[in-house]
Amino acid sequence: MIIRAAVLYEPHHPLVIEDLELDAPGPNEVQVRMVATGVCQTDLHPIEGHLRWPLPAVLGHEGAGVVETVGSGVNSLLPGDHVVLIVSPSCGECIYCESGRPYLCSVGAKSAFNGTLISGVKRLHKNEEYINHFFCQSSFAEHAIVDERNAIKVRSDAPLDSVCLLGCGTMTGVGGVVNTAKVEPGSSVAVFGCGGVGQSAILGAVLVGASTIIGIDIHDLKLASALNLGATDIINATDTDPVDAVREISGGGVDYAFEAIGSTKVMEQAWSVIKAGGKAVILGAAAPDEFLRIDPYELLAGKVLMGSSCGSVVPKRDIPRFVDLYMRGRLPLDKLVGRHYSLEQINDAFSELKRGKSNRSVISFSS
Q: What is the pLDDT of residues 271-282, one digit of tens each?
A: 999 999 999 999
Q: What's the chain's length in residues?
A: 367
pLDDT at 367: 46
Q: Is the pLDDT of residue 356 over 80?
A: no
Range of lowest pLDDT (61-70, 250-259, 289-298): 289-298
| Amino acid at residue number 333 | L
d(CA 213, CA 223): 12
Ranges for all domains in the chain classified under CATH 3.90.180.10: 2-167+332-364
Q: Is the pLDDT of residue 297 over 70?
A: yes
Fold exhibited by the domain 170-310? Rossmann fold (3.40.50)
Q: Is the pLDDT of residue 3 over 90?
A: yes
Determine whether 276 is exposed, middle or buried from the number of CB atoms within 10 Å of its CB (0-12, 13-18, 19+): exposed
Q: What is the mean pLDDT of the chain?
A: 95
Do the strands 254-259 and 188-192 form a parallel or antiparallel pair, or are they unpaired?
Answer: parallel
Q: Is the pLDDT of residue 245 over 70?
A: yes
Distance of alpha carbon 9 from the chain centroid: 23
The pLDDT confidence band at residue 106, using thresholds 50, 70 and 90, is confident
pLDDT at 125: 95
d(CA 365, CA 142): 7
- Percent of the chain whose pLDDT exceeds 70: 99
Contact 10, 31 (CB under 8 A): no
Residue 130's CB is within 10 A of a number of other CB atoms, namely 17
| Amino acid at residue number 264 | T
d(CA 260, CA 353): 16
Determine whether 124 is exposed, middle or buried from the number of CB atoms within 10 Å of its CB (0-12, 13-18, 19+): buried
Q: Is the pLDDT of residue 344 over 50?
A: yes
Range of lowest pLDDT (183-187, 295-299, 352-356): 352-356
Measured CA to CA in angstroms, residue 78 lies from 31, 68, 73, 154, 204 at distances of 10, 8, 12, 12, 31
The pLDDT confidence band at residue 312, using thresholds 50, 70 and 90, is very high
d(CA 83, CA 320): 10
- pTM (2 d.p.): 0.94
Half-sphere exposure at residue 325, Cβ-oriented, CA atoms within 13 angstroms: 20
Q: Is the pLDDT of residue 193 over 50?
A: yes
At the top level of CATH, the class of 2-167+332-364 is: alpha beta
d(CA 216, CA 234): 6
Peptide bond into 89 cis (omega under 30): no
d(CA 303, CA 346): 43
Q: Is the pLDDT of residue 358 over 70?
A: no
Contact 88, 102 (CB under 8 A): yes
Rg of the chain (C-alpha set): 20
Calculate mean pLDDT across residues 345-358. Answer: 86
Calculate mean pLDDT across residues 146-150. Answer: 96
Range of lowest pLDDT (209-218, 284-293, 297-306): 284-293
Taking the C-alpha atoms of 76, 177, 205 and 187 in order, what is their torsion angle to the nearest 10 degrees? 140
Q: Which helix H or strand E contains 198, and what residues bound it?
A: helix 196-208
Beta-strand ranges (E) seen in 171-242 are: 188-192, 212-217, 233-236
Nearest to 219 by CA among 244, 242, 232, 236: 236
pLDDT at 357: 62
The pLDDT confidence band at residue 176, using thresholds 50, 70 and 90, is very high
Ranges for all domains in the chain classified under CATH 3.40.50.720: 170-310
The pLDDT confidence band at residue 198, using thresholds 50, 70 and 90, is very high
pLDDT at 214: 98
